[in-house]
Chains A and B, each alone.
Chain A
């Protein structure tokens, strides 16, 4: 819940701005080609903004992890952050450092796979 509250506003705002960024000409053009409201929303707007929305989610992974750590440290009896919080009291750096590296690797893998999926699903998309 904490993660959703922390990250959802940014992603929603990004999605809103991306939707506004779709050129009006394309929406008008779609209507002139016979598209209905749903077609315009799904086949024109959503399809165009989807790679950027995925990018926005990807860029918010840092925040997701921060909120996850905060959540686990505040109110959890399990998880990596909970263990780090426990070990911190005894300065167990031999365990904390591998844990942190593990989290970093996990984030890197999620980031890489999201990029890969984005490229495969949207071959037309150029990030620049």
Chain B
């Protein structure tokens, strides 16, 4: 059984209904790195919010490990494009926030058990800090004292600290400059290999999706009556060279402008 099963999911907003997603059927296996690709407004982020459980499909259902989840919880980590960190907490407090709140309710935070665990968590957080390429001096900084790239690094560490089975990333690198973006891509790829977390990464950048993913899903934008559908589902081999990837990217970009996407891909 797949870890994530998206079963004929449709989503529409408002009255009169404006369809965003139309009967999406997908199965994502444990350990996959899936990039959801598509034009702006095609419903990529909506799909992610449905996976998070912060919104609910108007039709169909989403099963995670065989169960429906009706609100966000620890099984799914989340890295949004903006506002990823809590501005009132230092880097270290942001990273340890998850385990602290989930293991100790507020009234248990004055116990010696909490203090001992906190020291342990801080040690773990410092390890993560080093892994994501930040130095120890950064631990006491507040998010607004960090650059965009550093903030996203901390956000990733924060999400991974709770060891989620699924990591959902919504255009997490799109606000970064090209150099930092590449660096972040390398980082998330190595973290994914090290932790074996299932990653669903939403992006509109073809090159990025091909560089990161083991599988790319393209959503094709539909009309406001119909909504978007999955038009393409490609698995990327690890042995692909840079040249092959750029060729495939070029092909994907040209294909996404054509109407009959499915037919075009079957020739890939």
Give the size of the chain B interface in residues (CB under 8 angstroms): 31
Q: Which of A25, A122, A123 has the most CB of B within 10 A?
A: A25
B162 touching A42, Cβ below 8 Å? no
State the A residues within 8 Å of B (CB): 23-26, 28-36, 38-39, 42-44, 47-48, 122-126
CA distance A38 to B105 in the complex (A): 9
Q: Which residues of A contact B164 (CB under 8 A)?
A: 32
Q: Which residues of A contact B29 (CB under 8 A)?
A: none
Check: B240 CB closer than 8 A to any chain A CB. no
A25 touching B158, Cβ below 8 Å? no
Q: Which residue of B lies closest to A33 (CB)?
A: B98
CA distance A26 to B88 in the complex (A): 12
A23 touching B105, Cβ below 8 Å? no
A31 touching B72, Cβ below 8 Å? yes
Q: Which residues of B contact A123 (CB under 8 A)?
A: 142
CA distance A31 to B168 in the complex (A): 13
Check: B114 CB closer than 8 A to any chain A CB. no
Which of A28, A33, A43 is B74 in contact with, Cβ under 8 Å? A33
A31 touching B71, Cβ below 8 Å? yes
Total inter-chain residue pairs, C-beta < 8 Å: 83
State the B residues within 8 Å of A (CB): 52, 54, 71-74, 76-78, 80, 82-84, 86-89, 97-99, 101-103, 105-106, 142, 144, 158-159, 162, 164
Known contacts A28-B54, A42-B106, A124-B144; is A48 also within 8 Å of B72 by CB? no
Interface of A is mostly: helix
A124 touching B87, Cβ below 8 Å? yes
CA distance A33 to B105 in the complex (A): 13
Known contacts A42-B106, A124-B142, A124-B144; is A32 also within 8 Å of B80 by CB? no
A42 to chain B, nearest CB (A): 7
CA distance A17 to B268 in the complex (A): 52
A32 touching B77, Cβ below 8 Å? yes
B72 touching A32, Cβ below 8 Å? yes
A39 to chain B, nearest CB (A): 5
Known contacts A23-B83, A32-B159, A33-B101; is A126 also within 8 Å of B73 by CB? no
Q: Which residues of A contact B142 (CB under 8 A)?
A: 123-124
Q: Which residues of A contact B80 (CB under 8 A)?
A: 25, 28-29
CA distance A36 to B86 in the complex (A): 16
B82 touching A32, Cβ below 8 Å? no
B94 to chain A, nearest CB (A): 10
Known contacts A33-B98, A124-B142; is A28 also within 8 Å of B72 by CB? yes
Q: Which residues of A contact B99 (CB under 8 A)?
A: 34
CA distance A10 to B52 in the complex (A): 36
Which of A28, A34, A122 is B88 in contact with, Cβ under 8 Å? A122
CA distance A30 to B71 in the complex (A): 12
CA distance A35 to B104 in the complex (A): 10
CA distance A47 to B142 in the complex (A): 14
